[in-house]
Structure 1
């Protein structure tokens, strides 16, 4: 009888955990669109006011602040990639593994726009959503960057790796994390 009671309690606990996990995943996923929209609006405004050079400057100065503004406690929001421009955005081991999985899934024909991965890692709910290289990205991240713009990028980001992308390729991912270790989140 004790075994049956323990098994029943365990299955109820797992059901509550699954419901909580789904709710937290939905909560995290809801933070991505406004973050993405503000980043894109910032770059678009900079492009309109001063072209790609202004867009690079806006990214360098404003993107970290935008990420901070969208990191609503207890969530931390950011961006990462396998090839980063800003070393502060370098992927950790888990993020790198997920980005590599996204790349393999894209090669197999899955749409990048649909790629979202979440799991609990070391007491944190970690999430990533793929970013597709769009037309506006190509001026600064494409294969044919204007030499004057490349020179500006080289000054601001001497370790830049985020070049050579083609339209529709995996550019990187939005990355989110929050603590879930006490079971009451």
Structure 2
């Protein structure tokens, strides 16, 4: 399957939207995108205002769908069956919900983390840069306002077997996820023995523990490949 690598940044800006609901992840820097703070915007000739708004709306709708449906499923499982059962629900349902949101909104959506539980949730270069920037800001000043989202248009190189076969323009959107008290049952430092045993079985390479309430957990990441005409449109 072709691998995408970031070639250059065409647009970067962050937006202030509603706060995000944290959810345990499974699979859903100094760059211009990562350095922009909430409320700032840079001009671009890549997209018209109408196109940018439509892409943002789709990304936010898909993100809301993924977060709300997964949270509802996890909450129901936690209340009816307990933490161990919820781990299996998250493992099995998170990818299905992400696929549903992707199909409904015609995009690719997933959750990613620098300390991923599922290896498939490992961030790509762009995602890692944004997460590292957010994490550095939180570490420097835990009381500072949290980033709400970042959206970017990038040109990516398409490669297969190490050979470049083309380029494409992609709209990228990321919304951070934070650890709340309930997340500590599966992501904290002191896990119940049965929970730890289940994690060892489900995720042998698990890195997603040791968090404290309020920590940056990761992000929801959206990608939308732009048609050539849209990518080249002048505003």
TM-score, reference length from structure 2: 0.68
User: 1:21 matched to which residue of 2?
Assistant: 52
Q: Take 2:61 and 2:134, find their aligned partners in 1: how far apart are those partners? A: 20
Structure-to-structure mapping, 1:92-171, within 5 angstroms? 92-107=124-139, 108=141, 109-112=143-146, 114-122=147-155, 123-171=169-217
Secondary structure (helix, strand or coil) at the match of 2:115 reads: coil
Secondary structure (helix, strand or coil) at the match of 2:218 reads: strand
Structure-to-structure mapping, 1:61-72, within 5 angstroms? 61-71=92-102, 72=104
Deviations 1:105-125 (A, max 9, x none): 32334333x421111122110
Check conservation: 1:102, 1:115, Cα contact below 8 A. Answer: no
User: 1:41 matched to which residue of 2?
Assistant: 72
Secondary structure (helix, strand or coil) at the match of 1:53 reads: helix
Deviation at 1:153, TM superposition (A): 0.4
Where in structure 1 are there 5+ consecutive unaligned residues?
1-12
Deviation at 1:103, TM superposition (A): 1.0
Distance 1:76 1:138, change over 3 A: same
Secondary structure (helix, strand or coil) at the match of 2:111 reads: strand
Q: Which has the higher helix share?
A: 1
Distance 1:63 1:120, change over 3 A: same
Distance 1:19 1:166, change over 3 A: same
Bigger mean CA offset, 27-36 vs 166-175? 27-36
Q: Take 2:138 and 2:150, find their aligned partners in 1: how far apart are those partners? A: 14
Distance 1:128 1:15, change over 3 A: closer
Q: Which has the higher strand share?
A: 2
Check conservation: 2:58, 2:105, Cα contact below 8 A. Answer: no
Distance 1:110 1:27, change over 3 A: farther
User: 1:6 matched to which residue of 2?
Assistant: none
Aligned length: 172
Name the larger-Rg structure.
1
Deviation at 1:80, TM superposition (A): 0.3
Where in structure 2 are there 5+ consecutive unaligned residues?
1-43, 156-168
Q: Take 1:119 and 1:90, find their aligned partners in 2: how far apart are those partners? A: 19
Deviation at 1:18, TM superposition (A): 4.3
Deviations 1:80-122 (A, max 9, x none): 000011111111111111111111232334333x421111122
Check conservation: 1:124, 1:181, Cα contact below 8 A. Answer: no
